[in-house]
Chain A
Amino acid sequence: MTHPIIRLVNRNITISLNPGFLIWQVIFPLVYIFVAGFAYAPLVQGIQFGAAKDLDYPAFLASGMIGFNIMNSTLVSGIIIWNDRRHGMFEQIMSGPFTRGHYIISNICTIAIVGLVSAAFIMAVGYPVFFEDAEISLVTIPIIVFGAVAGSVLFGSLASIISTRLSSSEGFNVIINTVFLFFAFVSTAFYPAEGVQEPLRTAFYLNPLTYLVDVIRAGIFGSVDAFVAVEVAVLAVLACALFVVASRLLTRLNV
């Protein structure tokens, strides 16, 4: 018999893979990369990135879309907990052959898997757009994977925390949509932080998506410097902290 965590991950992935989720995951980023990316390209001149590297806007946006899609998919996966509570499946699972530990770890694993697959998909789709500038190496691949996993855990934990704290559908939707809007558009996913006026620029760096996008972008374009190292550390600390909080809240969640 397979391990309970694997069985729960299997179940989580099955219930996540519905048409709405796939459209959200596939169509959205494709529209951003191939419509917005090329439509805005004449307006946005070469973007300086790292050590004297100019990226065109589609390449900049496609690399940002990897982090954006990780956030997007893991927020949705984190909603599994919300849906389980809403549809009575949390109690049902807890009365079955599983512990809370199994449940928490299975959700994190699901989120990480969805995040990695999502990142790989956007990498594959976006590669033709940024392949001329890409400098992926054995040194940068671990940074990209680390960023993807840490970002998944971070946003998955955040969605889990929201799921455990709210009980009304309206409240949940308002919070998730607000969080999504802030994270998506007050970040470096769509535009560089350089040149942005204060206090917006500071707000960019209060947003974990900025760190995730910067780390992945640095990995793809081979421009890992001291600042990126700090961003890796911030991402790791935030992911750990939110994971601990989410686990504690899930452990205490009443049935």
Chain B
Amino acid sequence: MPHADTADTCIDARHISKMYGRTSAVDDVTFRVQRGRVFGFLGPNGAGKSTTIKMLTTLVRPTSGDISILGIDAVKRPLRVRQRIGVVLQQPSYEPTLSVEKALDKYGMMWGVPGGTRRDRTESLLEEFDLAGVRSRRNEDLSIGQRRRVQVAREFMHDMDLLFLDEPTVGLDPNARRDLLDYLQNRVRATGLSIFYTTHILTEAEYLCDEIAIMNRGRLLEVDTPDALKAKLGDEKTIKIHLPYRPPNIRDLLSGMDGCRIEFGGDHRFGGGGGSRTGSRAAITIRSSESELVLLRVLGILRENRIEIEDLSAVPTSLEEIFLNMTEELKGQQGGPDAGAGGDGGGRRNSRRGGRRA
């Protein structure tokens, strides 16, 4: 199917699927990314993120569907696509025997960047990625975090219109992670670069991305802005109750609660019998869109049974919790091996909300 080179679209994926033998890695995924924006692609391990990014970067051909990158048909003209994109893959990639400085320079050379420009960019990237102190060190002698920074910095040696980053902060310490996110943000603002960013660190996506897609088991569940996702799916609050000990009958006591999801956790697993006041601390996490009502009922039950409360808090559901809920709900619907489990001690679902899909 031909794609129009629309001025505002850099990625147009339509009904893309990828099968490995009989296993479906990506199943009928459709989405569009606007130019000059950061698009976050979230999903747990094995969700199909890396397969999707490999199809978008032309490393792998889709089994079916159409992909247009910067207005170019990625299946028919992969080389033309690759000439205009940058890719930082999930797994480390480096030239072990080259120094950091030489590795940056050679990577620029591979992209046909002239010598003078390479020298200038090498110097500025060494500073911006805090690599000047290890410029003469060989890649194989670097720490994992330093090597990762070289891998990301290297990609900025050449010009590009669209950058794919597959979990680029893996191995970075919190400071380096924040520095990288700030660098990317500034780069987008200054140059209009478009970024496709996969991660399973939700705070990163919330901080960096203009739009977020959530994927699980090869399927796209939602695509929207972080705020819209929270407004749409984060209408519930999370109540956390800590108990100084684990009452043996707590599951039974709360079993009749509707309109909420309850997870039991703590230092020891909840279970039948054996609990005592000298046992370990326990935690109950309750998620509900009717949190006030649910809280009153729970407090009533605890008071009636003379169960002491150590600590109680209620917070709006974070993007991370939305993500966990969505992916777990899908597991439950698909009857996965751990469907229904939740929290440390095994959860019990009373949710009234069904799974949501895009």
Residues in A lying within 8 Å of B, measured CB to CB: 1-2, 7-8, 10-11, 14-15, 18, 83, 87-89, 91-99, 255
Contact = CB atoms under 8 A, between A and B. Distances in A.
Interface string B43-85: 0000000000010011110000000000000000001001101
Interface string B102-119: 100010011110000000
30 contacts: A2-B112, A7-B109, A10-B106, A11-B106, A11-B109, A11-B110, A14-B98, A14-B102, A15-B95, A15-B98, A18-B97, A83-B96, A87-B95, A88-B89, A88-B91, A88-B93, A89-B95, A91-B59, A91-B89, A92-B89, A94-B59, A95-B58, A95-B85, A96-B82, A96-B87, A96-B110, A97-B112, A99-B79, A255-B59, A255-B60
A33 to B, nearest CB: 28
Which one of A1, A10, A87, A95 has the highest number of Cβ atoms from chain B below 10 Å of its Cβ? Answer: A95
Nearest to A92: B93
B109 A95 contact: no
Contacts of B60: 255
B316 interface: no
B183 to A, nearest CB: 20
Contacts of A83: 96
Nearest to A90: B93
Contacts of B96: 83, 87
A101 to B, nearest CB: 10
Given A2-B112, A11-B110, 4 more contacts: A15-B98, A89-B94, A91-B91, A94-B59
Contacts of B355: none
B82 A88 contact: no
B111 A97 contact: yes
Contact of B92 (A18, A88, A98): A88
B54 A255 contact: yes
Nearest to A95: B87
A221 to B, nearest CB: 38
A178 to B, nearest CB: 24
A82 to B, nearest CB: 12
B7 to A, nearest CB: 24
B111 A96 contact: yes
Contact of A97 (B79, B92, B95, B97): B79
Interface of B: 54, 57-60, 79, 82-83, 85, 87, 89, 91-98, 102, 106, 109-112
A96 B59 CA distance: 10
A10 B92 CA distance: 22
B298 to A, nearest CB: 51
Contacts of B59: 91, 94-95, 255
Contacts, number: 64
A87 B60 CA distance: 19
A251 to B, nearest CB: 13
A95 B112 CA distance: 15
A88 B147 CA distance: 12
A83 B94 CA distance: 10
A97 B83 contact: yes
Contact of B94 (A2, A7, A87, A93): A87
A20 to B, nearest CB: 8
Contact of A87 (B57, B79, B87, B92): B92
Contacts of A255: 54, 59-60
Contacts of A91: 59, 89, 91, 93
A255 B98 CA distance: 23
Contacts of A88: 89, 91-94
A17 to B, nearest CB: 9
B109 A15 contact: no
Report the 5 A-B pairs with minimum CB-CB distance, sorted nearest first. A88-B93, A1-B112, A95-B87, A92-B93, A18-B97
B95 A95 contact: no
Contacts of A94: 59
Nearest to B80: A97
Nearest to B87: A95
Nearest to B114: A1
B93 A7 contact: no
A13 to B, nearest CB: 11
Contacts of B98: 14-15
Contacts of A97: 79, 82-83, 111-112
Contacts of A98: 79, 82
A11 B110 CA distance: 7
A99 B96 CA distance: 23
Contacts of A11: 106, 109-110
Contacts of B94: 87-89
A89 B83 contact: no
Given A92-B87, A95-B59, A255-B60, A10 B109 contact: yes
A12 B83 CA distance: 20
A98 B96 CA distance: 21
B218 to A, nearest CB: 19
A247 B225 CA distance: 46
A15 B140 CA distance: 13
Nearest to B20: A254
A1 B158 CA distance: 13
A92 B155 CA distance: 10
Contacts of A18: 97
Nearest to B89: A91
B77 to A, nearest CB: 12
A7 B94 CA distance: 17
